Structure 1
Amino acid sequence: MKKVFVVLFCVILFCRVSVLQAQVIEVGDLTYNVLSDTSVGVLSCSQSAKSVIIPSTIKYKGTSYNVTSIDEGAFADCSYLKSVSISSNVNNIGANAFSDCSSLKTVSIPNGVTNIGFNAFSDCSSLKTVSIPNSVTNIGFNAFSDCSSLSKVEIPNSVVSIEAWAFSGCTSLSSISIPNSVTSIGYGAFSSCTSLTSINVSSDNKNYSSVDGVLYNYAKDTLIQCPGAKVSVTIQNDVTVIGDYSFTDCKFLTSVTIPNSIISIGRNAFSGCFSLTSTVSLTETPPILGHDCFYGCNAKNVLYIPCGSMIVYQSSSWNDWFANRVQCIK
């Protein structure tokens, strides 16, 4: 009998949870998903909305609910939306929450949000500034990618992780500062930022460093990201690895000097550098090249190498990119 009671209780509980999860509430331009007896998440927004205030609570049939999240794709493709104010109860901005909101100019993210999800604001081409509060610990994959009007971002000292491509394609962004709290930066996080002149790192950061505005790991043996507005770069001695996507779409880069300490160059490291005409490699042994390392570079890009290394370079994968355009360093 006891076993039957337990089974019946579980069935009732499951049905209760299922009903809650399936229930939606419409208030004004917003539709909410009931998460529990006391909380809801923003599920969707009217495509015609121009200005939205996400409240801290809503009341429905005599019950008050805290608005605690913005669900996946809630505002995606709301092309008329110009401004959003998010209440302090919200702690999570889900994947694709505001993606492709092409008219969105301002957004107020409250203190309390801990995660800005995958693609959360990607392709918000009118977004000019964003204030990230001190509660945020993670900036997700592609979170602000291709926000082409975004000119200023302040990353607070609460952020631990900046995922891959987080700010890629932010072509109006001129500088970025990495606080000491950041322990992880994904590949291409600041790639294709063609106005970016420097990536600065707090002197107290124990995971990353900056030399001449170029981002390295703390030991300075791996180059992680070159700012997209750089014209000429001499990579410092003792660097052994040029990371994946580290120079991708540096369209103003005309020359790069690779020191003799380099062992490997990552995938797509110099892809899209269509102004690059001089690549100087001081290594006698050709560094290992990742996939599509020099894809989309200038067809007149000349490789300069130590004279005694001509045969070994011509026998390596470097020859795939620089055939008939290799000269000795004199």
Structure 2
Amino acid sequence: MHTDDFKRLLFEFAPGNLLMKMRLLCKDWRRVADTFIDGEVESGEMIVIGGNDLSYDAIIYEAIALEERRTLVTQVVFLLNVTKVGERSCEWAVNLVVVEIPEGVESIGDYAFADCCNLTTVSFPTTLTSISIGVFQECSSLDNVDLFHAQLQEIGAEAFFRCSELKSMALPDSLQTLGDHVFEECYSLESVDLLHTNLREIGDSAFRGCPELKSLTIPDSLQTLGINIFLDCMKLVPFHLDEEETKLVISHLRSQQSHQTSNDQKTTSIHAH
């Protein structure tokens, strides 16, 4: 293709509004299906997710195969009626910084944003119910995640594995399952409040290798604990949960303060020795 050629392209979309199979390096998107997209991409690659069969008018600078030049990705655009982000759709998009996932998206497929090392901000919709395996694995610039208003029920294995700058998580009431290794080697993670959730299961090594983790609050709905959950969490102390108690609080080793719920429920109080 020549730089100044105008081309009309028909992109085929997979059933279920999954990620389309083509990416293009382009500028001056003129019109996309009644102006779903109307703007300009100065440089880099645009990924378009979702929709039906559409015709795209654009000035094409270069056609790019799906597995090539993915480091050029700088922007993700979602069309209407998207319900799922496909597996590995933006994996290794190392120049992707911000992603806004729109309302209507219910699930994010395996490794969808894995190894996006410069990704700092992700906005999640209230409709989201599932984050699959390794979705944000090794997103080393992601520092805060707010899922509080989502309808999320499950966070899959390794979903935030080795997100080394992740400091805090806001999780929703609906959460029931944390998968194996889900926050393993999140070196900057300091605290996680699970008390308000409906959490029933925490998988193996879920918080393994989180050296800055100082506080973890667990609800009485919890039924299953995996192995090695807190291995190498040096700032946590051993704990147990008595039958009478309604929640568990793991505190910083130096903490001398007992903890109390807003409803005056009993809690464990762990002190430094």
TM-score normalised per structure 2? 0.61
Structure 1: gaps spanning 5 or more residues? 1-26, 62-72, 209-215, 262-330
State the match for 1:179 in structure 2.
172
**1:93 corresponds to 2:74:** no
Q: 1:149 touches 1:170 (CA, 8 Å); kept in 2?
A: yes
1:145-156 to structure 2, matched below 5 A, reads 145-155=137-147, 156=149
Q: How many residues align?
A: 207
1:159 paired to 2:138: no
Deviation at 1:235, TM superposition (A): 11
- Conserved in 2, the CA contact under 8 Å of 1:146 and 1:167? yes
**Distance in 2 (alpha carbons) for counterparts of 1:235 and 1:109:** 28
Quick check: 1:197–1:230 contact (8 Å CA) kept in 2?
A: yes
C-alpha displacement at 1:105, in angstroms? 0.7
Q: 1:104 to 1:198 in 2, by over 3 A?
A: same
| Aligned twin of 2:48 | 54
Pairwise CA distance, 1:177: 2.2
Distance 1:78 1:35, change over 3 A: closer
Judged with a 3 Å threshold, the aligned counterparts in structure 2 of structure 1 residues 207 and 41 are, in CA distance, closer, same or farther, namely closer
Contact 2:70/2:93 (8 A) holds in 1: yes
Amino acid paired to 1:230: E
Tell me which protein shows more helix as a share of its residues: 1
* Offset, 1:94: 0.9
Asked whether the 8 Å contact 1:86–1:109 carries over to 2, the reply is yes
Shift of 1:80: 1.5
Q: Which has the higher contact order (CA 8 A, sep 6+)?
A: 2
Taking the aligned partners of 1:119 and 1:244, their CA distance within structure 2 comes to: 24
Residues 163, 185 of structure 1: 8 Å contact kept: yes
> Given residue 159 of structure 1, which amino acid in structure 2 is its aligned partner?
L
| 1:136 and 2:114 correspond | no
TM-score, normalized by length of structure 1?
A: 0.52
Distance in 1, matches of 2:70 and 2:157, equals 25
Q: State how far apart, in whole Å, the 1-side matches of 2:217 and 2:104 are.
A: 40
Letter in 2 for 1:121: F
Report the residue type matching 1:116 in the other structure.
I
Q: Output the aligned Cα RMSD.
A: 4.2
State percent identity of aligned pairs: 25
Where in structure 2 are there 5+ consecutive unaligned residues? 1-5, 27-42, 57-64, 243-273
Give 1:230's aligned residue.
Answer: 212
